[in-house]
Amino acid sequence: MIPSSLLSRSSESNGYDVDDPGVIFENWTLTVSGAVQKPGEYTLSQIQALPRMRQNTRHVCVEAGT
């Protein structure tokens, strides 16, 4: 059993513990590398200008208990 002291009190599992993580969006970039067609460094405005698409993905969590 996991001690309660190690459990998150936040209802968000993939979030920040603060409302503002201090990201300066004007300076933020995403580096894409590896076996991709268009490697490079992209700004937020470049990413936001990309065509939008919608995809529904079903994730199944399989847990191996002991």
Residue 6 pLDDT > 90: no
pLDDT at 62: 86
b/e string for 19-51 if b means 16 or more Cβ within 10 A? eeeeeeeeeeeeeeeeeeeeeeeeeeeeeeeee
Predicted pLDDT of residue 63: 81
- 56 token code pair: 């529904």
Tens-digit pLDDT profile for residues 16-59: 566 777 888 899 999 999 999 999 999 999 999 999 999 999 99
